[in-house]
Structure 1
């Protein structure tokens, strides 16, 4: 990257790449497809679990709008974060810092998709889902990316709300409302986000420090990060069990979620009890953090998959039946 200011880069005044250098794949990469796939999946679960019926075409439209909105958020994030992406090994080859797409193009792409997805949601689905989608895009692009990420080690805790809204949007697409069950689905992802990303930050702390991002390991140290990972993991497990006790999930889900949660706590405790005072201890800590990070992805997928399977196959036998 050149020595131009951050403001100049955000306005797209950096050196222009060669015309025609960007491929369709580069624009697709702007959408953060791996994040988008998780967003679509959790939104689908919210849509399926919600009470009531929805026309399949409307349901597909809602999921498409959520996917496009998530992609828009990713594009806006890459536009604004191009300067720090250029300093991190994990992100240096993204289209904007690599010069295949200009900041101005990324900004225009993101804004166009944002407006289009929200308008389509409002016209084809309902205003509640459209409002939640608009707020999610705003929260991720403005509150998290522009406001929190570079200023506070609590960026992931607060910013995690952006990734937690999709099942609530899916629920609202069916019901037109926000209710307690949809808030619980939101809270599952919200509480999952800190241990998931702090595990990543533990073994990528040098990257974040070099980029000047105040992630918890950089600001508070690795010991405090390990402690916070364990605390949030302990808080996460009962939240994932709440659907069964609130009656919108059954025995099958509750038992499986409890098993998955117990394993999550095992991985989190392994991270907690590691140290990083020597090179060998640092390797052991990084290994434990990588294992937790990998399992956390599988964990969230399986928790929401179980809700989906239980609903789809009619397995949602209420817990109260066992006690009755």
Structure 2
């Protein structure tokens, strides 16, 4: 464990301009939320059994609101850090487009509403898991892990792995091996996905004192760990097929997609970029990792729809 970094500065000054709806929308991290909502929807559609379309829509909406609330709380807590990073300096709080406490209250409102509606309208087990996921991201990852240990992404990866589990439970009302394996896939996918990004923005993290793996352990160790997790991802992604939870559509898709993921991790691990390469290997891997998750969960749903 490393020592928590000293805050860069006092809280940002009061907002100098009135916040617009776009600023509150930006607090929800829409691009990240799209992947969260998609995997949650896929978990719901792949689950055995059926759910009323309106109840299903409500469940997915609650997942989106919960993710947005957690993202807003993350930005409320990290406003000073975001101001010191080029990648995040254009967010509403660093730009002083709103008061910091408004971001906090917005995050709490979305989080609380998502949990309550999920419990009352869908299922209380799904609501409990949603509450755990919000707490995991906003408190365990953001406040505790991220500023203290280079394993923040490894342990904190669970925060983004909850949506398909929540979607599945919204339909079935219980937790079985399949939704746990969907959780595991995203959990294992997160380190190589995020470390690929961290490799080309590590100076940002170093500037604000966040102990991301490339900053603390160095690039060589980070690159080798990306490869190790890519190998593990190949194995874990095939487990739903191995236990008979899916058919050949998912199984073949997982094999091909994960093999490509592993192939793209090799140039990252061994620095195999050509001098005239227009895109660095880590950027290529990061871009593919996003496509990978969308494609893998699309195959999961297709397998369920076609074979049942």
TM-score norm. by structure 1 comes to 0.90
Matches of 1:218 and 1:285, distance apart in 2: 25
Q: Which residue of 2 aligns with 1:146?
A: 143
Matched, 1:92 2:81: no
- For 1:197-244, what per-residue CA distance to the aligned partner results, in whole angstroms no more than 9, with x for missing partners? 000011111111111111000000000000000000000011111111
Matched, 1:187 2:184: yes
Q: How many Å apart are 1:142 and its aligned residue?
A: 0.2
Larger relative contact order, structure 1 or 2 (CA cutoff 8 Å, min sep 6)? 2
- For 1:92-137, what per-residue CA distance to the aligned partner results, in whole angstroms no more than 9, with x for missing partners? 0100111001110000000011111101111001110000000000
Matches of 2:268 and 2:287, distance apart in 1: 13
Matched, 1:315 2:294: no
User: Are the equivalent residues in 2 in contact too, given 1:274–1:284 (CA < 8 A)?
Assistant: no
Matched, 1:239 2:228: no
Q: Which residue of 2 aligns with 1:16?
A: 14
Q: How many Å apart are 1:15 and its aligned residue?
A: 2.1
Matches of 1:15 and 1:274, distance apart in 2: 43
User: Are the equivalent residues in 2 in contact too, given 1:66–1:117 (CA < 8 A)?
Assistant: yes
User: Are the equivalent residues in 1 in contact too, given 2:8–2:81 (CA < 8 A)?
Assistant: no
- For 1:22-68, what per-residue CA distance to the aligned partner results, in whole angstroms no more than 9, with x for missing partners? 11111100001111111111011111111111111111111111100
Alignment equivalent of 1:299, drawn from 292, 295, 299? 292
Matches of 2:278 and 2:236, distance apart in 1: 27
Q: How many Å apart are 1:270 and its aligned residue?
A: 0.9
User: Are the equivalent residues in 2 in contact too, given 1:46–1:170 (CA < 8 A)?
Assistant: yes
TM-score norm. by structure 2 comes to 0.94
Matches of 2:9 and 2:174, distance apart in 1: 40
User: Are the equivalent residues in 2 in contact too, given 1:223–1:275 (CA < 8 A)?
Assistant: no
Matches of 1:232 and 1:62, distance apart in 2: 31
Q: Which residue of 2 aligns with 1:257?
A: 254
Q: How many Å apart are 1:308 and its aligned residue?
A: 1.3
Q: 1:284 to 1:230 in 2, by over 3 A?
A: farther
Aligned residues: 303
Q: 1:237 to 1:152 in 2, by over 3 A?
A: same
SS at match of 1:160: helix
Unaligned runs of at least 5 residues, structure 2: 1-6
Moved beyond 3 Å, runs of 4+: 5-8, 283-286
Matches of 1:139 and 1:7, distance apart in 2: 26
Unaligned runs of at least 5 residues, structure 1: 317-324
Alignment equivalent of 1:29, drawn from 14, 26, 34? 26
Q: How many Å apart are 1:6 and its aligned residue?
A: 6.8
SS at match of 2:307: coil
